[in-house]
Amino acid sequence: MIARPAVVTGSGSASWRSAPDEWLPLSAATHAQLCEAARFAISPDGHADDARLQAAFKLLRAEAPVLWVDTPGMRPFWLLSRYGDISAVERRGAPFAAATRTFLTSRMTEERLERLLGQPYVLRGLLQMDDPEHAAYRAVAQPYLTPAALAEMEPWLETWADHIVSRIAGRTDAFDFTKEIAVPFSIRGIMRLLGLPEADDDLVLKLSWGLVGPEDPVRRLADHPTTAICRAGLGFQAYFDPVAADRRACPRHDLSSVIATAQVQGESMPDYERFSYYAMIATGGHDTIAFCLSGGMHALIEHPDQLARLRADPDLIDTAIEEMLRWTTPGRHIVRTATQDIELGGQTIRAGEAVALFFNSANRDETVFANADQFRIDRRPNPHLAFGLGRHHCIGAHLARLEMRALLKTLLPRLKSVELAAPPRRTCSTMVSGISSLPIRCAWRAPDL
């Protein structure tokens, strides 16, 4: 059995967690490659280069699927890259806790947030909670995001999709699919569910981009990530506190009123958890969907045989959506902390140690997905982890699928052909990432008379 070295990505040197006599060290060349792969996987810039990122994860899955990473400026953690290990952690839940570390950030950012807010994160939502608290908070919005509850929204989504596509249909010049279609379509969907005006869409977009993309030069709200995150969090609080006050005074038939008036474990939701809940719904309800739509469109352009097949057989739309979710995986990673010693992937994870679960690596695991590096709209089975797994499974998963279906059903029949007009741009973020600019040029079918 080969021993897995601790990776110190700043210096490239290694230290051993444990090295029984029968284990052999990895070669120097392989260790250097692992250092580079780990560095790439945890770098925001790395997630802006998809080809190199996928190559890095492929190496990690093959050589060090449970890898101890100890890099200067960041608290050490185990990097998990295989589907089986990641799904085991998420399906099991305990002895892995969501609090108090949710995402990989620098020590400096955590310490600054601790000094400013008394905790290492700006928001405290479902991602930062464990049961029974997590179950109690999840129950607030869950009934309003089920297939049955969202059924009445489907006709509106189809109308909205027709409106968005009709604004573009017929254009022969290049345009940005993300900016003109994916983003406005997805942000209005979640804002309508919350009962918030279209005039506020741009503000909520700006705040959510700043929250999940604090290192991205286009999205960040300040040069330093800590300042950027704080500005986004405080901006959400300034926006949603008056919304909550208004809905408590005059409840309406919208999700904002549900959150504002919610009772959790017999008491009113505290202010901090309330605006965190709003921010979680607003951010998670549009950015991931927009990334899936843009990434899915890019995949169809890059695989014209799959686009032709989907247009010829619209019944494949649901399996195509699942493949787009697997292929893009906007929610890149989450961190859990072991509450007791446990073995995982041949390594002993000690109580108090963190594990970083990289879902976008799990969704390309060759042992689970046949021809994992191929985009196939008819892939079955497709047990992807784009929405996570277990008790922290994404609360808005059905809404995401519903929105993607509405837009694709409207857009694809109108397209005669589509091509890239310029290289796409990807965001620099290890939290939520994907294509943030997709310049395309289309030829359109004549409308039915």
State the pLDDT at residue 23: 37
Q: pTM for this one?
A: 0.92
Flag residues of the chain having pLDDT under 50. Answer: 1-6, 8-24, 449
What tokens does 414 get?
């109108």
Instruction: Round to whole Å and give the CA distance between 187 and 57.
Output: 31
Q: Which domains does the chain have, with CATH numbers?
A: 73-444 (1.10.630.10)
Query: Residue 262 has which token pair?
Result: 């919610």
pLDDT tens column, 401-443: 999 999 999 999 999 999 999 999 999 999 999 999 999 999 9
**Token pair belonging to 127:** 């991602």
Quick: pLDDT tens for 137-159. Answer: 999 999 999 999 999 999 999 99
Q: Please tell me the predicted confidence (pLDDT) of residue 111.
A: 85
The region, left, alpha or beta by phi > 0 then psi within -120 to 50, assigned to residue 125 is beta
Q: Chain centroid to CA 348: how far?
A: 28
CA distance 250 to 256: 11
